[in-house]
Structure formats: C-alpha cells, structure tokens
C-alpha cells in the first residue's frame, strides 16, 4: 500500500498526502503563456484599413486563406461557431464600415464543436479578455493569472501595420489521419445545436447587407478517405443551406486540383495549398457576384 499519494494538479496547485491526510500543499511555477498571436489578431481586426472581406473559422480557415490588402483572417485553432458568431459581431461593430463579404470555413467537427470541451479550452480566455466573449461555462481554473498575462502583453504592443491575420503554418499532428477523422466525427455527431450560430451569422449578414459564403476546405487524401459520406458529415449544414438560399456554399473538399503536397498535415493546408485555395475562393466569389 502506498503511503504517499500526489493528487491531480489543478491550476498549478499540488497536494501531498500521508495515509490519506494532506500534509503539504504547494504551487508549481506556471509558465506565462505567450498570447502574442491572439493580440496581433485582435489589434489587426480592430484597426486594419479597408476591410472588405472577413474570414472566420478554425485552423482550417486560418491556413486555408492567405489574406490580401482588403481581407482579414480572424480564424484560429478550434474556434467554434459560438465564438465565430461573436467575432463577426465584434468586427462589424468596431471595424465594419467597409465590410462586404463574410467567409466562414466549415470544418468537419463544426456541427458539434464546443471549444470548452477540447484540449484547447484555455483559448476561451483570450477571447473573453480581448473581445468580451463569455465563457458560457465555468472554468476549471482561476483565470486571473491568464488575464493578467494578456494585460501585461497588451501594454506597449505594436501590431505590424501590414498584418492581416496570415497563418504561420507548419501544423503537425501526432495522430494518424484515421484517428483525426474519428475524433472530428465525434464532434460532428453531437446533438448540441451549434448550427444556431450559423443562423445568427446569416441573420446579421442580411441586416448589414453582407454576403455570406461557407467554405468546405480540401483535405489530404488519407483524411478524406477516413470520413463518412458528405451527407452524413454535413447533414445539418446542408439542411440549413436549403432553407437559406442566400448563403452560398463553396465545396472544395473533393477538388482534384489539390494533392498531398498542398498539406502540412492530414487536414491543414500548407502555404502553397492555402494560396491555391484562396485563389479558388476569390474566383468563385467573382463568379457569384
């Protein structure tokens, strides 16, 4: 029988027990996270000039669209539709005078994704601090350490004037394409009504006279082959589009122009793939307009 037992660490705190009795409590030093990329995105989206095209989505949107002089790519890792909707509202309010087009990248997992339930739940904190987006769930840690870190990193920060939200690329996964696909499909099949936020985005777009586009991005062949048929993966999206014909879909998931050389990982474009996808989206927008 073990006399000493270390309980699970929570927010850097640890306790040592002897025969079931806590005898020592201490706090492990927590490394200050680097929120620079979040801050750059926030400052760029708030202050950039000539913003006509706003790109929103998860990391697939971040890597799938290389922004130009009239774009801003506010996509980021594991962003759910709840936060995408709030980011759209934020930009419309603070930098929306020239806004014309909203491009939402729809990932395989978006029908059921909730950031709070992912390993990246701490990313809810900068969205709360920078955009005042409610957590929508109680955090398992005290957020003051992270909020203070963001505040300190904001002080004196100067965003490059030409930053339009471009990805740094080089995404890699430890999981196989099949494991990634299975994990993403678990989110897809959750029945938690995330489609309501796309509906809210569509209603705001109509109110503001913005054109709304939904993009299904391409994936590497091994990931794509591990997915069920589109009608299973995207059934909620397809039903929504049938009832909202003013929202245009660009389905590039099966575009044969993309090869495995266009990807950094099973489900993320590299920079060359992102440039190719961006050209295709721009061409589709011109054709629709």
Q: Which residues pair with 55 in a beta bridge?
A: 73, 103
Q: pLDDT grade, residue 21 (50/70/90)?
A: low
Q: What is the DSSP string of 130-191?
A: HH----SS--SS--HHHHHHHHHHHTT----TT-----------SS-HHHHHHHHHHHHT--
* Whether the Cβ atoms of residue 236 and residue 230 lie closer than 8 Å to each other: no
Buried b (16+ CB within 10 A) or exposed e, 10-49: eeeeeeeeeeeeeeeeeeeeeeebebeebbbbbbbbbebe
Residue 127 burial (C-beta neighbours within 10 Å; 0-12, 13-18, 19+): buried
Residues shown for the chain: 289
DSSP for residue 233: H
Q: pLDDT grade, residue 187 (50/70/90)?
A: confident
Residue given tokens 């014309």 in the structure block: 100
DSSP for residue 57: -
Q: pLDDT grade, residue 160 (50/70/90)?
A: very high
Q: Is the dihedral of CA 229, 232, 235, 236 positive or negative?
A: negative
Q: Which residues pair with 101 in a beta bridge?
A: 53, 211
The model's pTM is 0.88
- For 44-73, the pLDDT digits (tens) are 999 999 999 999 999 999 999 999 999 999
13 has a pLDDT exceeding 60: no
Domain positions in the chain are 1-30, 36-288
Q: pLDDT grade, residue 2 (50/70/90)?
A: very low
Q: pLDDT grade, residue 3 (50/70/90)?
A: very low
Is 5 or 248 the better-scoring residue by pLDDT?
Answer: 248
* Whether the Cβ atoms of residue 95 and residue 48 lie closer than 8 Å to each other: yes
- Of the candidates 107, 81, 112, the one whose C-alpha atom is nearest the C-alpha of residue 186 is 112
Q: CA–CA separation, 17 vs 227, rounded Å?
A: 47
Q: CA–CA separation, 101 vs 217, rounded Å?
A: 18
- For 259-268, the pLDDT digits (tens) are 999 999 999 9
- Which of 184-188, 214-218, 220-224 is least confident? 184-188
Residue 14 confidence (pLDDT): 59
Residue 168 confidence (pLDDT): 92
Q: Which CATH architecture has domain 36-288?
A: 3-Layer(aba) Sandwich (3.40)
């Amino acid at each position: 029988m073990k006399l000493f037992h270390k309980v699970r660490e929570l927010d850097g705190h640890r306790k040592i027990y002897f025969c079931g009795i806590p005898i020592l409590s201490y706090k492990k030093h927590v490394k200050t996270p680097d929120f620079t990329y979040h801050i750059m995105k926030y400052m760029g989206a708030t202050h950039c000039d000539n913003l006509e095209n706003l790109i929103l989505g998860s990391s697939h949107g971040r890597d799938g669209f290389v922004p130009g002089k009239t774009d801003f790519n506010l996509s980021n890792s594991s962003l759910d539709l709840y936060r995408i909707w709030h980011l759209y509202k934020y930009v419309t309010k603070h930098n929306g005078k020239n806004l014309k087009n909203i491009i939402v990248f729809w990932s395989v997992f978006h029908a059921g994704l909730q950031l709070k339930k992912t390993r990246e739940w701490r990313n809810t904190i900068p969205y709360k601090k920078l955009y005042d987006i409610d957590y929508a769930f109680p955090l398992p840690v005290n957020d003051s350490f992270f909020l203070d870190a963001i505040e300190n990193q904001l002080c004196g920060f100067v965003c490059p004037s030409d930053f339009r939200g471009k990805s740094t690329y080089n995404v890699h996964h430890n999981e196989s394409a099949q494991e990634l696909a299975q994990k993403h499909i678990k989110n897809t099949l959750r029945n938690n009504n995330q489609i309501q936020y796309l509906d809210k985005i569509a209603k705001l777009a109509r109110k503001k006279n913005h054109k709304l586009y939904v993009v299904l991005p391409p994936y590497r062949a091994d990931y794509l082959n591990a997915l069920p048929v589109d009608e299973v993966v995207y059934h909620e999206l397809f039903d929504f589009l049938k009832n909202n014909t003013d929202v245009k879909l660009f389905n590039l998931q099966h575009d044969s122009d993309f090869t495995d050389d266009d990807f950094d990982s099973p489900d993320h474009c590299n920079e060359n793939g992102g440039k190719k996808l961006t050209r295709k989206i721009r061409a589709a927008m011109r054709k629709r307009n």
